[in-house]
Amino acid sequence: KNIVILISGRGSNMEAIVRALEAGRWPARVAAVISNKADAKGLAFARAHGIPTAVVPSKEFATRDAFDAALRQAVDGYAPDLVVLAGFMRILTAPFVEHYAGRMLNIHPSLLPLFPGLATHRQALAAGVSEHGATVHFVTAELDHGPAVLQARIPVLPGDTEDSLAQRLLEHEHIIYPQAVRLFVEDRLRIEGGAVRILETA
């Protein structure tokens, strides 16, 4: 299966997925890494690993529709079976999301449905929750609301800051995102009644 990964910056989740694919024997390859920013750090890692890269510079498009049309053309050029959003910091239009319905995943650094949107670690601290986490989910038109595939949970410790939470959580993101991608490429995910069912292996 062809995977296209979209990034905007550091790309550490993309890196975790690429390394997992390199180490395992999954029926998949990363066909391309595409960024909406030319200076995204993760592009260098992708290139160093022989993965084609492309930039669709969001700041050069006057409208969201125009950007999404260009992005879709770039993504579809790699015939993706799966599109993976990995720190891709753009809200996508409904037509774009519809086009990849059932084949686009995102990771969000909260235990959805808690804390959609930005600054999730700050939101979690402000709410005083004892547990925080990350969610891999299918992307639907409503931001950070699609069916959840996997979640990772961490305790909120005394003295935790936004940074300490983000850092501790990231290690778990790097575990669950490759796992979720693997489940998808092994065709073990079903969306039923708005929820994800994971099929056991034979």
Which residues contact ligand GRF (rule: CB under 6 A)?
7, 9-13, 86-87, 107-109, 134, 170, 173
Of residues 142 and 187, the one with the C-beta less far from ligand GRF = 142
Cα(142)–Cα(106) distance, integer angstroms: 13
Buried b (16+ CB within 10 A) or exposed e, 39-58: ebebbebbeeeebebbbbeb
Comparison of 13 and 93: residue with beta carbon closer to ligand GRF: 13
Of residues 125 and 170, the one with the C-beta less far from ligand GRF: 170
In whole angstroms, the minimum distance from the beta carbon of 163 to ligand GRF comes to 12
Q: Which residues are catalytic?
A: 108
Alpha helices by DSSP H, listed for the chain, are 12-23, 42-48, 64-76, 94-99, 120-127, 162-185
Q: Which residues are annotated as a binding site for (6R)-10-formyltetrahydrofolate?
A: 64, 89-92, 106
Tokens of 38: 């030319």
Binding site, by residue number, is: 11-13, 64, 89-92, 106
Phi, psi of 70 (to 5 degrees): -70, -40
- Min dist CB 192 to ligand GRF, Å, is 26
The residues that bridge with 129 in the sheet, in sequence order, are: none
Shortest distance in whole angstroms from residue 109 CB to ligand GRF = 4
Closest residue to bound ligand GRF by CB: 87
